[in-house]
Amino acid sequence: MDALIAATLASLRPTHRHAVMDLVAQAGIDVGPWAVKRDGTPVRKPRENPAYCYDWAFGSDAEGYVLCIWHDSLGEVVLPQGAALAFQENVRQLALSLDRIAIDRTQPSDIRNRARDQAGRARKFESALQRSFRKQLAVRVIVNEGDQRADDELGTSKSTVKLRALDDARWFVHRYDDAMGDALLVRGIELPGVAGTPADVVLDQESPTTNMSVAGQPPGDKAASPAVPPTYVDQFSEPAAVAAREATVLLRDRSAAVRARVLARSEGRCELCARPGFLTAAGSIYLETHHVLPLAEDGPDHESNVVALCPEDHRRAHYGAERLAMAERLSALLRERFPA
C-alpha cells in the first residue's frame, strides 16, 4: 500500500465513541425526526431512537448523504490521478443474501427479523450510493470500529460498533453499476470529466431495447423472428403522460436504462400474471414498470427491484387489499432472477 494512503487510513481509525446522531448532525443532516417515533410520539432519548440509530445511511438529495463504513472495509485503489483511499463493495448482493435468510422459514423468527432489518439498511445504503453517483453529490463517511460479524455469520449475528468518527473529507462515487450493483466510493477525489448526467454514464450500450423502432411479433411469441424487434414502452415513455403526473420529480429518480432492460426482460408480458401487454397506437407494446420496494422508502432503482406489470396488476400492487402479498410474490420472483 502507498505510504501516504496507509498513513491516511491509520489516521481515520476512530478513537472515541461518538453518538451516531451527533455525527450525522455534524455532517449537516437534519436530525429533528430522531426526536419522535414513527407514529409521531416523542422519544425520551433521541440518540437511541431505534428508527434511526441502527441505520447505515442518512440524508437526502438536498442535504447530501452520510454513510457508515467499517474501517476494515477501506482500502487502496489506483486511479488515473494516483493512489486513493476507497470503499468498493457490492451492497446490493449483501441485501439479496439477507433477503434469502429473511424468507427462510427454517430459520428462527429472530434471525429472520434481523436479516429483514439488515436488508432494508443495506438497500438504503445502496440507494444513497446510487443517487450520489447520478447527481454527483459529495458523500460524508462515518468510520466505524468494533466487533464486525464474520461473513459466515450473515443474518445470524450482528456487528457491534465500539468507536466511530466522522471523516472531515468529502468522498465521491466514481462508479456505480446499475446492472450489478458494484460501486466505488473514493475519498477526496472528485469524478473528473463526466459529460451529461451521471445516469448517462451507466447506460448499457448492449441493451436489447437500444434503437428499437416498431412493434414486430405479438408479445411472448418466440416462434417467429421479426426483422425488427418490438418496441416496449411504459407509463413514463410518453411525454404527455409524464407532463400529466402530479410529481414529475419522481421520473428523474428512475433510470431509463433500468426501465428499458426490465421491459425487455419481460418480453412483453406481465411478470406477475403473464398477460401480454397491449399494442399502442404507435405500435409499441405497453406494460408498466413498478418498484417493489418504493423509491420513497429508499428502494433502489435497479433491475433487482423493478418488475414489468400489466396496468391492472400495477394498480393492484399499489391499491389492492392484497398488495402486501403481491409485494412478497414479486420480491420472491426477483430473488430468483437475481441470486447472490
Measuring CA to CA, how many Å separate 45 from each of 19, 179, 313? Answer: 12, 41, 43
- pLDDT at position 283 is 82
User: Residue 15's beta-bridge partner residues?
Assistant: none
Question: Mean pLDDT throughout 19-34?
Answer: 97
Confidence grade of residue 234 (pLDDT, cut at 50, 70, 90): low
What is the separation of C-alpha 22 from the centre of its chain, rounded to a whole number of angstroms?
Answer: 25
Distance CA 269, CA 308 (A): 8
Question: Side-chain half-sphere of 195: how many Cα atoms within 13 Å?
Answer: 0
Nine-digit cell string for 253: 429518480
Contact 71, 166 (CB under 8 A): no
Nine-digit cell string for 67: 454513510
pLDDT digits (tens, 9 = 90+) for 44-99: 999 999 989 999 999 999 999 999 999 999 999 999 888 999 999 999 888 888 88
Contact 16, 161 (CB under 8 A): no
| Domains, the chain | 3-187 (no CATH), 256-337 (1.10.30)
Nine-digit cell string for 243: 407532463
Which residue is associated with the grid cell 430468483? 336
Phi, psi of 212 (to 5 degrees): -75, 150
In whole numbers, what is the pLDDT of the chain averaged over residues?
Answer: 81
User: Residue 22's beta-bridge partner residues?
Assistant: none
Distance CA 37, CA 187 (A): 34
Considering the entire predicted model, what is its pTM? Answer: 0.62
pLDDT digits (tens, 9 = 90+) for 242-280: 434 433 334 446 788 889 999 999 989 899 888 889 888
- pLDDT at position 326 is 87
Distance CA 10, CA 225 (A): 60
Contact 232, 266 (CB under 8 A): yes
pLDDT digits (tens, 9 = 90+) for 88-117: 999 988 888 888 888 777 888 888 888 888
Question: Mean pLDDT throughout 195-213?
Answer: 31
Of 256, 257, 250, nearest to 299 (Cα)? 250
